[in-house]
Structure 1
Amino acid sequence: MKLTPQTERFVLHFGEMGSRWGVNRTVGQIYALIFLSEHPLNADEIAETLGFSRSNVSMGLKELQSWRLVKLVHQVGDRRDYFDSPKDVWEIFRVLVEEKRKREIDPTLTLLRDTLIEAPADQAERHAQQRMKEMLELIELSTAWFDEIQRLPPETLERLMRLGSKVQKVLGLAGKLRGGAGPDR
């Protein structure tokens, strides 16, 4: 597979972004290549196109599978494993957010809940626990909101996201209609 200059720029950029998102550069580039490909790719095609060792590609594919960003597919008459990414970008977005939550948010919630069960020993610890309680409440509120958003059909979610700051105006108007002050008091 030959990369066009445009595709190569995207693949290289995704490698750089991957390292900022918690995966190594190789994994980011492998994902970008699979994402852009018109058809599923096997590990040899990926290694040859990107100039990576076969073992590096295999490890990268395992990581992408653990993130549920690529899936294994087979082709009739071919014993090799092929890899494809979900076609719907909304599905990819949801999977990424779910995986980030499972790997980063959920352990933090567990730690906060476990820590807040313990009785504080002194004033400094009471203060620390109060701050942790505030953080726990914020994260729980955010995750509950995200759970609701997650259940929306992609079309509705897209419309909601396109509303942007108009949502704040609608909420402000709703508050004024109820007789109270809006969020922009």
Structure 2
Amino acid sequence: MKLSATAQKFVLHWGEMGTRWGVNRTVAQIHALLYLSQQPLTADDIVETLGVARSNVSNSLKELQSWKLVRITHVLGDRRDHFIALQDVWEIFRVIIEERKRREIDPTLTVLRECAIEGTQDSELDASVLERMQTVLDFLEMLSATYSDYQRLSPQTLQRFLQMGGKVARLLPANDKEPS
């Protein structure tokens, strides 16, 4: 597959963004390539296009499949696996947020809840430290609850909500401190 200069720039930048988000560069580049591709690609197509090792492509495709961003499809007359990426940006965003919550936020909430319970019985733990732990727990529980509310929204409703967000923010006071 031959990429235009603009498509190459997109794929390379997606890889760079991926590293900033904690994602392997090749994983992100393969995701970008499959997102831009107009037809399903084989692992060999990806190797040839990106110039990366076959083993790296195989591992990266497994990672993308575990994130539910890429799936296998088959082409009539070809026994090889072909890969396609989700094409709906809203669905990609939803899947990434859902997977990050499941992999990062949920386990953290479990540990923080345990710390909150254990902290009340830990005579060596300063009350101010327990309070800071509780603040983090409260914050993450609020984010988790908010995510649960938003995940039920259709992409169209979520888009309208996000477009409205700036207007709502301008209606709120800039310095919204709680009364003491």
- TM-score (ref. length: structure 2): 0.91
RMSD: 1.8
Q: CA deviation at 1:13?
A: 0.6
Count of aligned positions? 175
Unaligned runs of 5+ in 2: none
- Residue 87 of structure 2 is matched in structure 1 by 87
Letter in 1 for 2:162: M
- Residue 167 of structure 2 is matched in structure 1 by 166
Where 1:120 maps in the other structure, the secondary structure is coil
CA distance in 1, matches of 2:149, 2:175: 21
Unaligned runs of 5+ in 1: 173-180
- Residue 122 of structure 2 is matched in structure 1 by 120
Where 1:152 maps in the other structure, the secondary structure is coil
- Residue 133 of structure 2 is matched in structure 1 by 132
Where 1:164 maps in the other structure, the secondary structure is helix
Q: CA deviation at 1:80?
A: 0.5
Letter in 1 for 2:38: E
- Residue 74 of structure 1 is matched in structure 2 by 74
- Residue 108 of structure 1 is matched in structure 2 by 108
Where 1:84 maps in the other structure, the secondary structure is strand
Q: CA deviation at 1:167?
A: 1.6
- Residue 146 of structure 2 is matched in structure 1 by 145
CA distance in 1, matches of 2:27, 2:174: 46
Where 1:97 maps in the other structure, the secondary structure is helix
Where 1:165 maps in the other structure, the secondary structure is helix
CA distance in 1, matches of 2:174, 2:45: 57
Please list every run of at least 4 consecutive aligned residues from structure 1 whose deviation after the TM superposition is greater than 3 angstroms. Answer: 181-185
Where 2:82 maps in the other structure, the secondary structure is strand
Q: CA deviation at 1:110?
A: 0.8
CA contact (8 A) 1:120 1:129 kept: no
Letter in 2 for 1:117: I
Q: 1:183 to 1:155 in 2, by over 3 A?
A: farther
CA distance in 1, matches of 2:80, 2:38: 18
CA distance in 2, matches of 1:50, 1:17: 17
CA distance in 2, matches of 1:122, 1:93: 43
CA distance in 2, matches of 1:133, 1:32: 39
1:36 is aligned to 2:36:
yes
Q: 1:56 to 1:182 in 2, by over 3 A?
A: closer
Identical aligned pairs, as a percentage? 53
Q: Deviations over 1:15-42 (max 9, x none)?
A: 1111111221111111110010011111
CA distance in 2, matches of 1:14, 1:168: 30
CA distance in 2, matches of 1:43, 1:92: 21
Where 2:83 maps in the other structure, the secondary structure is strand
Q: CA deviation at 1:168?
A: 2.9
Higher normalized contact order (CA 8 Å, seq sep 6+, divided by chain length): 2
